[in-house]
Amino acid sequence: MSVTAEARQEFAAIREAWAANLHRVMAARRKGRNADPYFHDWKMTPIEQMAWSEIRQAGIPFLPQFPALGYLLDFADPLLKVALECDGKEWHERAADLARDTKLADRGWTVYRVTGAECHRLSRFGELAAECYENDYLTNRHCAESFGRYCQSIEGVVDAISLIHYGRRIWLDETWAKNVLSSHCLVVTPRDGDAA
């Protein structure tokens, strides 16, 4: 896919913004604080906007458009080296994504991927899935379907990241969260074998 001159300019502006703010962001993260991500006017696709909303709601310290190894990761925590990529049809090809994720994994990164359809799946299945899970209603067809949709939504993936990488206790258990994350990771690293 060819990159337009406008896109190249935006990528350069993002890299400049990160060059000016990376030290401050990393200092905040090392102190266990979320860094203010609004030092740049981030231009997000609709699916990235949906993912960003879930990330902010969950309180995960991800930052948008983080530069790593010459790539711009849609959302990332540079301290833990965990990233979330939103794969729209137009910009992603599985073979290229696998090669990219392998390079990142070789440098200690864990990259999770959600499809555009999963980003659009924001029907608050989590509340119903939580009720079904807590009351052991998953044998109920409606509950099982809701739980399955939740597992394949940006909400479910972000909740799983929140639990596994940040230890934030939510209604779901670690086994479930690890299964969700492993199904959204192209490259499993030794670190992921323990966490996902």
Read off φ and ψ for residue 29, nearest 5 degrees: -65, -40
Burial of 32 (0-12, 13-18, 19+ CB in 10 A): exposed
Residue 175 has a pLDDT of 85
Q: Which residue stretches of the chain are H helix?
A: 5-30, 46-58, 94-106, 116-120, 125-134, 141-151, 154-166, 174-182, 190-195
What is the total count of domains within the chain?
A: 1
From residue 171, how far is each of 40, 51, 168 by CA, in Å?
Answer: 34, 20, 10
Q: What is the pLDDT of residues 136-185, one digit of tens each?
A: 655 666 667 777 777 788 988 999 999 999 988 776 678 888 988 998 98
Task: Give the pLDDT confidence score for residue 137 in this predicted structure.
Answer: 59
* pLDDT score for 81: 96
Query: In the structure, what pLDDT confidence band is assigned to residue 122 with cuts at 50, 70 and 90?
Result: low
Domain range for 22: 5-195
Task: Render pLDDT for 29-72 as a digit per residue (tens, 0 to 9).
Answer: 899 888 889 999 999 999 999 999 999 988 999 999 999 999 99
Residue at token pair 């299964």: 179
What is the CATH number for 135? 3.40.960.10
pLDDT at 88: 78
Query: Using CA atoms, how far apart are residues 105 and 103, in angstroms rounded to an integer?
Result: 5
Model pTM score: 0.85
